[in-house]
Amino acid sequence: MPGFLPNVTHACFELSYLLALAAELARLRWPRPWLRVAGLLFGAAGLFAHSLFLALRQPTPATAYGGLLVVAWVLAVFYLYGTLHDGKRAWAVFVLPLVLGLVGLAFLAGKDQVPLGVPWESEHRVWGALHGVFVLCAAVGVSVGAVASVMYLIQADRLRRKKNPLGGVKLLSLERLETINRRAVTAAFPFLTAGLLLGAVLMRQYHDLVDNWLSPKVLGTVGLWAVFLLLLYLRYVVHVPGRRLARLTLVAFALMIAVLVAAHPFAGGTP
């Protein structure tokens, strides 16, 4: 292993993402091809460092620290794919602040957060990991939906105010943004449901205490699930306007962040 690898820190990828964002913001004012290349290079360097960090440090996604870093990584992949696939749109302007925010939040949540005290070889551990994967998949879906929602609200506002269609930040059409939001939320719901059910079964089996059931993380997850259900109901049954769905998706995203940051009810070991 090259000697520098263990030295990859938060600062490496956070600074790279920050420079990529700065290059993209500068490109809005001065549309120079080299700024796009610079943004892409910084973004790719950030993602590389981020990937190395996750691979080498292996922070457990069961903690807020690990979970937020993994969600941020998936969003960084989403940003880079979007930028390479459709370079005319200002993906970085919308996705990178979210990535930076999640990494910053992970840093604040603290890498020393106590992981779950469950032995590796136990059956609980396997099901617990599966529960974590489901919840993380749902988190990624909500995050993608949230990015699309922010874009949707800005685009709808521009249309409402009848701004120059080719002026300002280049955005996707309302239809495309709505489709991204719909697919992300619809795909996230089964993962969230499965994660929630699996978590409930595990808690019933191994940590069946009233305090655990009433912990902020559990209640928040149930609330998140309810918001998801409401989102799907409003979309597929009531057919409410896209703007309201976008706002509700942002509420779901905020709730998801709160759930991710909240301490796990049985962190530190089985009672």
Partner 1 sequence: MNLRVVGCNYRTAAVELREKLAFDAAKQDRAVAELPARFGCEVVLLSTCNRVELYTARPPQEPAFDLDRVAEYLGEVHSLSPDVVRPLLYERADAEAVVHLSRVTASLDSLVVGEGQIAGQVKTAFDFAQKAAATGALLNALFPHALRVAKRVRTETGIALGHVSVSSVAVDYVRQVFDHFGDKTVLVIGAGKMARLTLKHLEALKPKRILVTNRNPAKAIEVAGMCGGVPVPWENLDAALAETDIALSTTGAPQPIMPAKRFEEKVRPKRGSGTLVVLDIAVPRDFDPAIHDGDRVCLFNIDDLTRVREQTIAARHAHLAPAEAIIAAEAKKFLDDWNRRKSGPVIQQLRTEFDKVRAEVLAGVLSKLNGKVSDADKAYIEGGFRLLQNKLLHGPIAALQQASKDGESRQMLDAVRKLFGLSGG
Of 81 and 108, the one with the shorter C-beta distance to partner 1 is 81
In the chain, the amino acid numbered 15 is: L
Question: How many residues of this chain bind partner 1 (CB under 8 A)?
Answer: 25
The closest of 224, 225, 201 to 213, measured between CA atoms, is 201
For partner 1, the binding residues in 183-242 under the rule CB under 8 A are 239-242
Segment contacting partner 1 (CB under 8 A): 59-67, 104-112, 167-175, 263-271?
167-175
Q: How far is the CB of 33 from partner 1 (least distance, A)?
A: 9
Q: What is the rounded CA–CA span in Å between residue 193 and residue 199? A: 10
Of 245 and 255, the one with the shorter C-beta distance to partner 1 is 245
For partner 1, the binding residues in 15-74 under the rule CB under 8 A are 31
Q: 56 Cβ partners below 8 Å, 6+ apart?
A: 5, 6, 8
Segment contacting partner 1 (CB under 8 A): 97-105, 134-142, 155-163, 188-196?
155-163
Of 169 and 194, the one with the shorter C-beta distance to partner 1 is 169
- Quick check: 61 and 126 in contact, CB under 8 A? no
Instruction: Dig out the tokens for 268 from the structure.
Output: 């530190």
Q: How far is the CB of 240 from partner 1 (least distance, A)?
A: 8
179 lies in the binding site for partner 1 (CB under 8 A): yes
| Cα Rg of the chain (Å, integer) | 20
- Three-state SS for 116? strand
Of 85 and 162, the one with the shorter C-beta distance to partner 1 is 162
Q: 255 Cβ partners below 8 Å, 6+ apart?
A: 220, 223, 224, 227
Residues in touch with partner 1 (CB under 8 A): 31, 155-162, 164-167, 171-176, 179, 239-243
